[in-house]
Amino acid sequence: MNRQQEFVLRTIEERDVRFVRLWFTDVVGSLKSVALAPAEVEGAFEEGLGFDGSSIEGLARVFESDMLAQPDPSTFQILPWRGDKEQTSRMFCDILTPDGQPSAADPRSVLKRTLAKAADMGFTCYTHPEIEFYLLKSADLGADGRPVPVDQAGYFDHVPGGVAQDFRRTAVAMLESVGISVEFSHHEGGPGQNEIDLRYADALQTADNIMTFRTVIKEVALTQDSYATFMPKPFSDHPGSGMHTHFSLFEGDSNAFFEAGAEFQLSKTARQFIAGILRHAPEFTAVTNQFVNSYKRLWGGGEAPSYISWGHNNRSALVRIPLYKPNKGQSARIEYRGIDSAANPYLAYAVLLGAGLKGIEEGYELPLGAEDDVWSLTAAERRAMGHDPLPASLHDAVRAMEDSELVAEILGEQVFENFLRNKRAEWHDYRIEVTPYELRRNLGIL
Amino acid sequence: MSLAGRLISAGFTDLEKSTRFLEAPELAGIDAELLFAALGHAASPDLALQSYVRLLAVEPAVADLFTREPERATALFRLLGASEALGEFLMRHPGHLDAVRRPARVEPAVPPEQLRASLLAAVDADPAVENPVAGKTGTGAHQCLRAAYRRHLTELAVRDLSHPSPIDYLPTAARELADLAAAALEASLAVARADLAESYSADDIAAVRLAVIGMGKCGARELNYISDVDVIYVIDAPTLDEALASRIGTALATGISRGVYSPGPEPALWEVDANLRPEGRDGPLVRTLESHLTYYSRWASTWEFQALLKARAVAGDPELGRRYEEAVAPLVWTSSEREGFVESVRAMRRRVTENIPRHEGPKQLKLGSGGLRDVEFTVQLLQLVHGRADESLRVRDTVTAIAALSAAGYIGRTDAADLDNAYRYLRLLEHRIQLTQLRRTHLMPDGDAARHALARSTEGAMVSVRPTARSMVEKWQRTRRLVERLHETIFYRPLLNTAANLSLEDAKLTPEAAQARLAALGYSDPKGAMRHIEALTGGIRRRAVLQRQLLPILLAWFADGVDPDAGLLGFRRLSESLGESHWYLGMLRDSKAAAERLCNVLSSSRFITDLLEVSPESTKWLGSDPELVPDTFESQWQEIRSKMSRHPQPQDAMRLIRLIRRRELLRIAIADSAGLLTQAAVGNALADADRAAVLGALHVAENSIHASEPRITDVVVIAMGRQGGREITYGSDADVLYVHRPLPGADPAAAQRQAEKVVSQLAANLTQPSKPPVRAERVLEIDAALRPEGRQGPLVRSLDSFREYYKRWSLIWEAQALLRARPMAGSDALTADFLKLIDPIRYPSSLSDTDEREIRRIKARMEAERLPRGADPSRHLKLGRGALSDIEWLIQLLQLRHAARVPELRTASTLEAMDAVEAAGLLPAPEVETLRRSWLLTSRLRAANIIWSGRSSDLLPSSRRDLEAVARWCGYGPGKGAELEEDYLRLTRRSRAIFERNFYGT
């Protein structure tokens, strides 16, 4: 840690960095940034940087607005899109109260707390997200009132000379240059839709990486005169943008999810972890799918998982056990397919992990896996097989979360309350909105 | 004498086993007299006998030791009786038996160079060169090194065990143990260099200079017989590539550890622990000097400097080691100026007593209150605080540091002598316990046999009366208590000598040193604190003399509170106003519990401090639990009546009544702070005090009015709200209703006028300033807003008017308010009639849907309107989410619904009503439990707010300091403010959910 602070100061000196941006995240996952001159960095390491937290969503109570941002030197990174002159860099921050305690309202500290709990149980947690997004011609809507994608290609399509191809190449190069390893990138199902998979890393680093990733993608799109969006469901008739995430737990250097010879090579720990996630999924869906629009993705078809189920390599299941080479026990993992690309990664990973750990702690039994395509079952069949639906709307999700002791415990009372307040307000705003749908359906005939 | 008798008198404990060993064929031909005489010297004759028999088997030559060299035999038996492990060493290596020598009259200390030379020679390295390379390599070399180490250890143990006064020999033995460990590290390094030749060129290896810095007890040359040896590695290789140098350095460091600690036929010596290095486990094993310094100057935390206090170059390159020592010393001695020094010191102190496994607590020599750590911590803290200015304190080991602190006057001479003695004794116990098995332990052994042996081995060789296990345990406990006491007072005693300008005692601090010390102990205004101490201890009056004795410990108690400065200031004021009252001085002197209570109260409650200041004589109660039982209503009323009869003037009588109420508030608060009252009892007692005052005020008002006009009506006061439920807190208003009934034949209009006169006089009696003023009084505000028609209605109504009103207009919120009506003052008959009137209203046989809906509507509107602007609903204790109002409204709704049917629900008390709700099954028991806990915590917090700050507030504090203070009042330990906050938010969230489900039906 401290060598890292030293390294940061040295790099700033050597690379002639002119600005250091301190990054942190509000409760809904928007990136916040404040710029420092290099001379101020050492002070910020030692004492933190004071700022007024009251204007940041969900961060501080009005009457206790002084907060400190303390940069985490292990996240120091030069930002490449600012060019070689007047280099700019960034570090993620932890938010502290004026007396130097971790702020209970900081999403990053929520994830840190959950990871510390995992560590107490002897686990380190690795995650690996597959982030989908749409590349549009611009942020403006087209003549038909819908966004305009950059191309009309589909899954894994190679588009010769396409914008998307160029875009992905530049984006991947830039991600690599900020130290984010990319596993895979390809064209997704919708027109202009892309997916980029990040290499697995520990959960906190992954969450930081996702925040960086979104910025990088948006910056690169801007340089190419296009616009990137992580909105969960920008088109009614094309698939939404999910952020399937693979989770694995390690005990020391061995994968705690792997057990040679067990069904699907899944250890008892893995089964309990999945059981925890499935049992608590309705309670934390408001966090993993936090916008009104998120539910258009969850319930809009296109391979989004709407029912609580798990399966071995079953793409209709909420939790999927990916196939991997039998002798590669270290790569045993589970994939949660519910999260969308607009989630606050710190909170989303905290609740998923927290639910999984709860399953391990309490020794939950894993229900039977789904072998069929869950979407093609009838409602009665699904009910018979115990595949309950996820919440149908943000409103339902908020109600389910309100009753969840587990989510309150994971988020801490203050984030829990702030988050719910924010989401109730969103639902309220949405409810009073007259939508194009209503006008189209009703105006002409009523 | 029978054999058994003989064994017992020789000190054997396991007779059966020892008898068997005595029959061993190996002992044939040995003179039993001589054998028994020798066994008498062994701490554990049983163990000595067994080991001797086993030794005979491998080395028959020891059989004639008794006749040939009787003094060596004695030494051998001392060794065998005190150390099974060293006995086994001799069996493995009988060749080393010559290490057991006849003890010399004056034992010379073995110089460190000699030990270094001997251990280097054991691995064929040349002691004359600076960075020697061993001639032997690998495990073979390790065996030689360890055997040589144990040979020296054996020699030392023999000298130690044969010393006439081991407690005096302790520092010498500890020094030699450290030197021996250093020599082993040096020899192991020589082997590591030789081993490395397989992978690196000799030039490269030689180019890496490595210094081993001893930390902890090894660094301070006060090592135990066996313990981890703490080290830090420094390298220097200017001619090599950085990465290569670091690789070789790391390999050498790992090699050192392997040499002494890897498993092998000659067992490992001890663990080499490098975790005190920069960044601990996560940091690189070796660093350059520059890298160390950068780390320390920038990132190190306070405890790391405390650790560096002990740093000493013990092995490896001497020149590099010296440079390291010189470079870090200034960092150590300026560390007390660092920010956060005080906080980290206090946290460290807490850790000394925490984190001990429960079952070990009573057996711990090292940790825990009164243990070795306590002594070391005290000494190091004083060194760090004063060593900045005074170089004579810059020494490493504890014994020398105590002497230096005493010589320079930072601690008193007697205290120093006691501390030194205690420290050596505890260390000696630790040494002897470890020596038995050469196992790292700091626990007093279980069982009489082991304790008996320990008792014998800690006494000197010449002692004629052998101590028993019991006398040893008693002495140990005495020592522990002594250390505990010294630990409490040692910081403060010299402060007083400075402040009081005394020449009686030796220890005296400069004003700067005194302030530095106070600041380090948590006083935020050390100058002010020094002034108070001066005022308290100056002069030659009895009070000053006594306070000089007491203050050291009082200052420590204040420092444990939330606001030490306020505690000290309050104490000074109190002490000045109490003057020479002999009971006060006596109480402080004789009652430790009372003095501790006083310090606790003064440093954590503004409310109590303010009241004590105006009625200092109440300090007396602190020493007497019977005085802290709240006066009953009856006895207060009796006192008030007698005051009224003796003081006919209304103002005089009223002033006395208000003084009684102020006195009772203070008594209750103190009893509350001492944990003598339950929360329900506090509410009841406060309500009784208010009731007595209101009754007094009513009588005074009536007496003065009826002096000039005849009585034509009776007036009663009915308590409402939390006052009615007897669930008020300090400084609450009194919600009331006034009822009157004209005497037969009286004119109703005139009676109404007289009643109005009485009640307005009553309220004025309680609130108007009196002469002389009642200082620090929490005035009892009377609030009659719950009356029919609220503020628009007449202040007082006749019983008939009430009847009329309730018949025609009664609104459901009034019925709800009446649930908490309770007689407070005035005619019993009228009160009874009033209750008869309202019972059918407040306990309706059925509650209509319209009424239920109306209650919900009013509550909902209150939630929207009553909360102060900008207040966070989740933190408002009265109207906030799941707080008092939510819980009480739910309970009251259930009372309105069911009280006609369930008589137990007919109570004004929320807590009792909750019990009844649970008993009648109206809510599930777990839900009632959640409500109850929320209600109790919330009520407690409201009281805590006013107790801590002297001002009432209905918000959960948000500043950390305020949170800390109220958390302590709510029974949380130090540093648990955030935990209280989380608990409160969680509890009230749950109770809000229960409320919403059951009240609004959502």
pLDDT, tens digit, 9 for 90 and up, residues B883-933: 999 999 999 999 999 999 999 999 999 999 999 999 999 999 999 999 999
Q: Are residues A152 and A11 in the same domain?
A: no
pLDDT digits 0-9 by tens, B14-56: 888 888 888 888 888 888 888 888 888 888 989 999 999 999 8
Domain count of chain A? 2
Say whether residue B927 is in contact with chain A using an 8 A CB cutoff: no
Domain end call among A99, A126, A160: A99
Q: Are residues A94 and A140 in the same domain?
A: no
Quick one: average pLDDT of B576-580? 78
CB-based contact B875 A2, cutoff 8 Å: no
> Is B451:B472 a contact under the CB 8 Å cutoff?
yes
Amino acid at B853: R
Helix count and strand count (H, E) for chain B: 44, 10
pLDDT band for position A62 (cuts 50, 70, 90)? very low
> Is B376:B457 a contact under the CB 8 Å cutoff?
no
CA distances from B90 to B43, B83, B142, B538 (A): 18, 11, 18, 65
Contacts of A62 in chain B (CB under 8 A): 870, 872
- What are phi and psi for residue A213, nearest 5 degrees? -55, -50
Q: Are residues A44 and A150 in the same domain?
A: no
Quick one: average pLDDT of A34-59? 80
Domain that holds residue A250: 113-438
CB-based contact A61 B294, cutoff 8 Å: no
- pLDDT value of position A168: 85
User: Considering only residues 853 to 872 of chain B, which have any Cβ-Cβ distance to chain A shorter than 8 Å?
Assistant: 870, 872
Q: Are residues A44 and A76 in the same domain?
A: yes
Q: Are residues A329 and A389 in the same domain?
A: yes
Mean pLDDT for chain B overall: 88
Name the minimum distance, in Å, from the CA of B889 to any CA of chain A.
22
CB-based contact B870 A62, cutoff 8 Å: yes
What's the CA gap between A67 and A53, in Å, rounded? 6
User: Considering only residues 184 to 243 of chain A, which have any Cβ-Cβ distance to chain B shorter than 8 Å?
Assistant: none
Domain end call among A43, A66, A99: A99
What's the CA gap between A362 and A350, in Å, rounded? 18
Mutation to test the A interface, candidates B301, B876, B959, B983, most A Cβ within 10 Å: B959
Fold that domain B334-471 belongs to in CATH: Four Helix Bundle (Hemerythrin (Met), subunit A) (1.20.120)
Q: Are residues A48 and A167 in the same domain?
A: no
Q: Are residues A178 and A51 in the same domain?
A: no
pLDDT digits 0-9 by tens, B338-378: 766 766 766 666 665 565 565 666 788 887 778 888 888 88
Quick one: average pLDDT of A48-54? 79
Instruction: Provide the whole-model pTM.
Output: 0.74
> Is B787:B795 a contact under the CB 8 Å cutoff?
yes
Contacts of A1 in chain B (CB under 8 A): 279, 282, 299
What's the CA gap between B126 and B123, in Å, rounded? 9
Query: Is there a domain that residue A146 lies in?
Result: yes
What's the CA gap between A103 and A70, in Å, rounded? 11
Query: Is there a domain that residue A60 lies in?
Result: yes
What's the CA gap between A416 and A350, in Å, rounded? 12
**Chain Cα centroid distance, residue B280:** 27
pLDDT digits 0-9 by tens, B625-659: 888 999 999 999 999 999 999 998 999 999 999 99
Contacts of A98 in chain B (CB under 8 A): 960
Q: Are residues A24 and A151 in the same domain?
A: no
CATH code of the domain containing A372: 3.30.590.10
pLDDT band for position B464 (cuts 50, 70, 90)? low
Mutation to test the B interface, candidates A47, A54, A63, A65, most B Cβ within 10 Å: A63
Domain end call among A73, A99, A125: A99
Say whether residue A61 is in contact with chain B using an 8 A CB cutoff: yes
Nearest chain B residue to A61, by CA: B872
Q: Are residues A161 and A70 in the same domain?
A: no
CB-based contact B986 A408, cutoff 8 Å: yes
- Least CB–CB distance from A413: residue in B295, B870, B986: B986
Contacts of B979 in chain A (CB under 8 A): none
> In this structure, what token pair is assigned to residue B382?
């004083």
Query: Is there a domain that residue A446 lies in?
Result: no
CB-based contact B872 A63, cutoff 8 Å: yes
Share of chain B above pLDDT 70, in %: 95
Q: Are residues A247 and A345 in the same domain?
A: yes
Burial of A299 per CB tally in 10 Å (0-12, 13-18, 19+)? middle
Under CATH, which architecture does the B129-137+163-333 domain have? 2-Layer Sandwich (3.30)
Same fold, B129-137+163-333 and B334-471: no
- What residue spans define the domains of chain B? 3-99, 129-137+163-333, 334-471, 844-1002
Q: Are residues A28 and A174 in the same domain?
A: no
What's the CA gap between A205 and A92, in Å, rounded? 10
- pLDDT value of position A1: 43
- pLDDT value of position A8: 86
CB pairs under 8 A between A and B: 52
Q: What is the ipTM of this complex?
A: 0.80
Mean pLDDT for chain A overall: 87
Chosen CATH of B844-1002 out of 3.40.50.920, 1.20.58.760, 3.40.50.2030, 1.20.120.330:
1.20.120.330
Q: Which of A307-311, B328-332, B799-803, B896-900 has the lowest mean pLDDT?
A: B328-332
Say whether residue A417 is in contact with chain B using an 8 A CB cutoff: yes
Contacts of B304 in chain A (CB under 8 A): none
Say whether residue B299 is in contact with chain A using an 8 A CB cutoff: yes
For the beta carbon of residue B885, count every other beta carbon within 10 angstroms: 20
Say whether residue A104 is in contact with chain B using an 8 A CB cutoff: yes
Report whether pLDDT(B944) > 90.
yes
Say whether residue B297 is in contact with chain A using an 8 A CB cutoff: no
pLDDT digits 0-9 by tens, B285-304: 999 999 898 888 777 777 78
- Least CB–CB distance from B960: residue in A3, A61, A97: A97
pLDDT digits 0-9 by tens, B111-139: 999 999 999 999 999 999 888 999 999 89
Query: Is there a domain that residue A108 lies in?
Result: no
- What are phi and psi for residue A392, nearest 5 degrees? -90, -15
CATH code of the domain containing A83: 3.10.20.70
CB-based contact B874 A97, cutoff 8 Å: no
Mutation to test the A interface, candidates B286, B288, B982, B987, most A Cβ within 10 Å: B982
Say whether residue B978 is in contact with chain A using an 8 A CB cutoff: yes
Query: Is there a domain that residue A348 lies in?
Result: yes
> In this structure, what token pair is assigned to residue B691?
């009731």
Q: What is the DSSP letter of B523?
A: -
> In this structure, what token pair is assigned to residue B620?
């007396």
Q: Are residues A88 and A155 in the same domain?
A: no
